[in-house]
Structure 1
Amino acid sequence: MKVVIAIAPEKYRDEELAEPVAALNSAGIAFDIASTRPGTCTGMLGGKTIAGISFDDIDPKNYNGLIIVGGSGCQTHLWEDDLLVRLAICFFETGKVVAAICLAPVVLAKAGILKQKKATVYDSPVAVLEMKKGKAVLVGHPVVTDGRIITANGPPAAKDFAAAVVKELKDEFR
């Protein structure tokens, strides 16, 4: 089993990457970290990580799920990334886990896959507006699962978000 974690090249939210990475490692689930370009990416809190691949390099057939990390860089670099939006659609249409936290659920809204789905997002006016445009049913919980879509509203929810993603991935193989 393997997933891909999508992050912005700068200003991703450090704990929204760290918690899923820790949970995936603990569960023995392999992952690749991808961004708009391969190379060093910098978090909002100063952390650095290496994106081993770019979104261009992702073949959804090789992965069981997609996790999109939030942070202010998400709005700048990921919301309008057509390739990431298409990847989210592909993962969703093939019944794979699609997960996004903080500002990242907007990518799913822009992909059209949150239409009439329960979801949550970081409570910023522009993010809430984009979620409503995508016809998401906004729920005031830190982590929301609707089918194979998992959304979370920000850094305090990162650990529970990671646990929900791992649970959904493992349930697929029971």
Structure 2
Amino acid sequence: MQSAKGKKAVMIIASNNFRDEELLKPKEVLEKNGVSVTVSSSSLKESTGMLGAKVKPDILLTGIRVADYDAIIFVGGSGANEYWDDPTAHKIANDANNAKKIVGAICIAPVTLAKSGLLKNKKATTYSSTVQDIKSGGANYTGADVERDGNIITASGPAAAQKFGETIVKALSQ
């Protein structure tokens, strides 16, 4: 694997009920490969994951400057639906995509990308409960654990978290 050293990623978590391993696994993979990771949320208060992990975000969602990052990653978990209809999240996703940055989303978070128009005619995957939501956004649902279409990387859920992180590293290294 080529190096992703010196690259920067921002991982966006729900203010509550993000999915622990969907943040922690990819974050570990990214950091092991030299990627500097910033955690963002809609609140700077400590967020609790569905399995109890406690994370204090580094920056607010509204403070994300897309130009500062090589990858923008939306983390899943039941709380991730707070960004589905969030204009700020949609703008961040679209700005990152337009700048040819890596845009990632795991579990139910691909719905945010679908609702922002990013998955139209793109191969994508998502958690089983949100397949219809991404199809409604024009995605070509594949059912894969991890799906990459250009600079957009989606993953199905906690079991795919490690592979999701590895796919992002690979994309950042190209």
Partners of 1:165 and 1:39 lie apart in 2 by: 27
Q: If each structure's strand is expressed as a fraction of its own residues, which one has the higher value?
A: 1
> Of 97, 110, 113, which residue of structure 2 is paired with 1:108?
113
Partners of 2:29 and 2:55 lie apart in 1 by: 17
By how many angstroms is 1:102 displaced? 0.2
The AA in structure 1 aligned to 2:150 is G
Partners of 1:89 and 1:121 lie apart in 2 by: 19
2:171 matched to 1:165?
Answer: no
The AA in structure 2 aligned to 1:32 is T
> Of 8, 13, 32, which residue of structure 2 is paired with 1:7?
13
> Equivalent residues in 2 for 1:22-33 (5 A)?
22-33=28-39
Show structure 2 runs of 5+ residues with no match: 1-6
> Equivalent residues in 2 for 1:25-174 (5 A)?
25-75=31-81, 77-124=82-129, 127-171=130-174
By how many angstroms is 1:129 displaced? 2.0
The AA in structure 2 aligned to 1:107 is T
Partners of 2:41 and 2:21 lie apart in 1 by: 17
State, as a whole percentage, how many aligned pairs show the same letter.
Answer: 42
Partners of 1:20 and 1:37 lie apart in 2 by: 21
Partners of 1:58 and 1:31 lie apart in 2 by: 13
In the alignment, is the contact (CA less than 8 A) between 1:44 and 1:71 conserved in 2? yes
Q: TM-score, normalised by structure 2?
A: 0.94
Q: Secondary structure at the match of 1:34?
A: strand
Deviations 1:36-61 (A, max 9, x none): 12131110001101111111111111
Show structure 1 runs of 5+ residues with no match: none
Deviations 1:65-106 (A, max 9, x none): 10110000012x121221011100000011000000000000
What is the aligned residue count? 168
The AA in structure 2 aligned to 1:16 is E
In the alignment, is the contact (CA less than 8 A) between 1:39 and 1:52 conserved in 2? no
> CA-atom RMSD, angstroms?
0.8
In the alignment, which residue of structure 1 is the partner of 2:3? none
The AA in structure 2 aligned to 1:143 is V
